[in-house]
Chain A
Amino acid sequence: MRFVEAIHKILQQAPTVIGFVGAGNIFQSLAPPTTAFPFIVVGAQSDDAVSPTLTSKDTLRRATIVVDCVGTSLVDAARIADHVRYDLDKAKGSITLVTSATMVIQSVIITNDSMTFDLGSDGGENAGVFVCSVNIKIYYVATTPVPVSLTTGL
């Protein structure tokens, strides 16, 4: 799921986002427990072929991603979420990933967002955080599959 890495990297280069949380406070899948607020967590939800062809070689894919913007105040979480929308909506181009592979992103589209208050595991008054989740749809070009030939008697 390299598209998660791609969104992570785009956010690290997004000027208004890193102006608020810093490039080091953006994580994939989960944030370490000791992370200072506010921070962002990028997670994958789905990844599908957009328009499969009869030769099954089309590489345009559509992934959905949730970007959780976590802060100790509603204002902080909402502001980060709005920065994510501002910097990412309709973004496109090529991005080089950590693995040095280049991914072509045809379009990043913000679909919707939502807001929750997380009480935390102990339910204590000071343990809760505000989470504004931005749901993103990304159209990207995946690497071309090279299927193996099926054989028997291995």
Chain B
Amino acid sequence: MAATISYSTTIKIGPVGAADAYSSPSAIAAIGEVTSLSFDGVAQSSLEVTSIADAVKRYKAGILDAGSIAIELNLDYDDAQQVAIAAAATDRALRSYLISFGAASTGGMTVSGVGVVTGFSVKAATDAVLTISFSIKCSAAYTLTAI
């Protein structure tokens, strides 16, 4: 399989299940007018376990950080999912997210998990479209799946 074009990439946001567990939002419409989407992925901390007898520093794996998601949109407030994620920016509730990178026909993958919307901003500039930015802090583990 060759490299995969970004077109067809989508993100869906929905409620979490019982005990704040992931609940697939696959039946919910994707957020419209997404112009860029980045998932910065996991960060692995390291714990130094060097002893006085070591000549080279030694480490063990620490706690994982599931990372965050940044989304850029063209503003279209007729899009119900844009309204929904804007609401999620202020209600302090966790959300399930499902990102589809690419499509089945191009060998894409999904990233799914739970997170909280931590940022929301709107930008207007001369001779430019109105844009919205969102950020989501991922909580606990995420799942990668081939489409």
A residues bordering B, Cβ < 8 Å? Answer: 50-56, 58, 60, 109, 137
Contacts and interface: CB of A to CB of B under 8 A. Distances in A.
Contact of B6 (A51, A54, A109): A54
Interface string B1-38: 00000111110000000000000000000101111110
Interface residues of B, number: 16
Interface of B: 6-10, 30, 32-37, 74, 127, 129, 131
Nearest to A111: B127
A51 B32 CA distance: 13
A54 B7 contact: yes
A55 B127 contact: no
B129 A60 contact: yes
Contact of A58 (B36, B37, B74, B127): B74
Contacts of B37: 54
Nearest to A137: B127
A128 B18 CA distance: 81
A82 B28 CA distance: 52
B74 A60 contact: yes
A93 B72 CA distance: 27
Most chain A CB within a 10 A radius of its CB, from B9, B10, B129: B129
7 contacts: A50-B129, A52-B35, A54-B37, A55-B7, A55-B32, A56-B7, A60-B129
Contacts of B34: 53-55
Contacts of A137: 127
A55 B129 contact: no
B129 A51 contact: yes
